[in-house]
Amino acid sequence: MAYHSPGLPCDADGVFLPPGACAQPPPAKEKTDWTPFASCVSFKLATLIFKDAELSHSHVDRLMDLWTASMIEAGGVAPFASGEDLLDQIDQIKLGHVPWRSFTAAYSHNQPPSSDSPLWMREEYNVWFRDPRKIVHGILGNPEFSNGIDYIPYRDFTDGKRRWSEFMSGDWAWEQAVRTFPHLDVPLLTH
């Protein structure tokens, strides 16, 4: 059975708050706290390597080897020991952390004799994924998005014409809310 939330405010444990009560925001993070990274530079370097340039492990390893060699003369160390060290630090990020999982998939229906069958029918494939439900929970729980997400379906009319701008302005979200919670005395917004 699927759980459908009525979009009411709740506490960190998911217990609905009394009407009119506001949820407590998460504690503010210090501006100098780059945890799990050692510094702002380490964080920005990880962003550049992992997100912007999408460097492979071997390229990160080579970069860190060169960096370490140059830092030995100055008595310092590179921000990351290797590509694995970089990924370990990224994996330590707590906000929205959802672990990777995997399974193996293979074609299991009738196939021609092995000499005639395409390779993809004979191979096994590793499929890596993160739990989409936990990913969405992480997005919705992230205070960075608190003023940028509509949690209630709405219909937007400008000059008498319907406008769609994002998921919650669409018909499916509207129909789910109306069909799922007709007993709630909460007006659905049309603006």
Identify whether 151 is part of a domain: no
What does the angle CA 66 – CA 54 – CA 124 come to, to the nearest 5 degrees? Answer: 115
The answer to whether position 80 is within a domain reads yes
Rounded Cα distance between 52 and 130, Å, is: 21
Instruction: Look at residue 64 and tell me if it is in a domain.
Output: yes
Rounded CA-CA distance 142/107 in Å is: 39
For residue 131, tell me if it sits in a domain. no
The answer to whether residue 106 sits within a structural domain is no
Q: Give me the residues of the chain with pLDDT under 70, please.
A: 1-8, 26, 95-96, 114, 178-191
pLDDT at 2: 39
Q: Tell me, what's the pLDDT at 104?
A: 94
Dist. CA 47–CA 86, nearest whole Å: 10
Q: How far apart are CA 186 and CA 191, in angstroms?
A: 15
pLDDT per position as a tens digit, 147-162: 777 778 888 888 889 9
Amino acid at 177: A
| Residue 79 is assigned to a structural domain of this protein | yes
Residue 73 lies in a domain: yes
Q: Tell me the residue range of the domain where 79 lies.
A: 34-93
DSSP string, 15-75: PBPPTT--PPPPPPPPTT--TTSSSHHHHHHHIIIIIIS---HHHHHHHHHHHHHHHHHHT
User: What pLDDT does 79 receive?
Assistant: 84
Does residue 39 form part of some domain? yes
Number of structural domains, the chain?
1
CA distances (Å), 122 to each of 91, 106, 184, in order? 34, 7, 53
Amino acid at 98: V
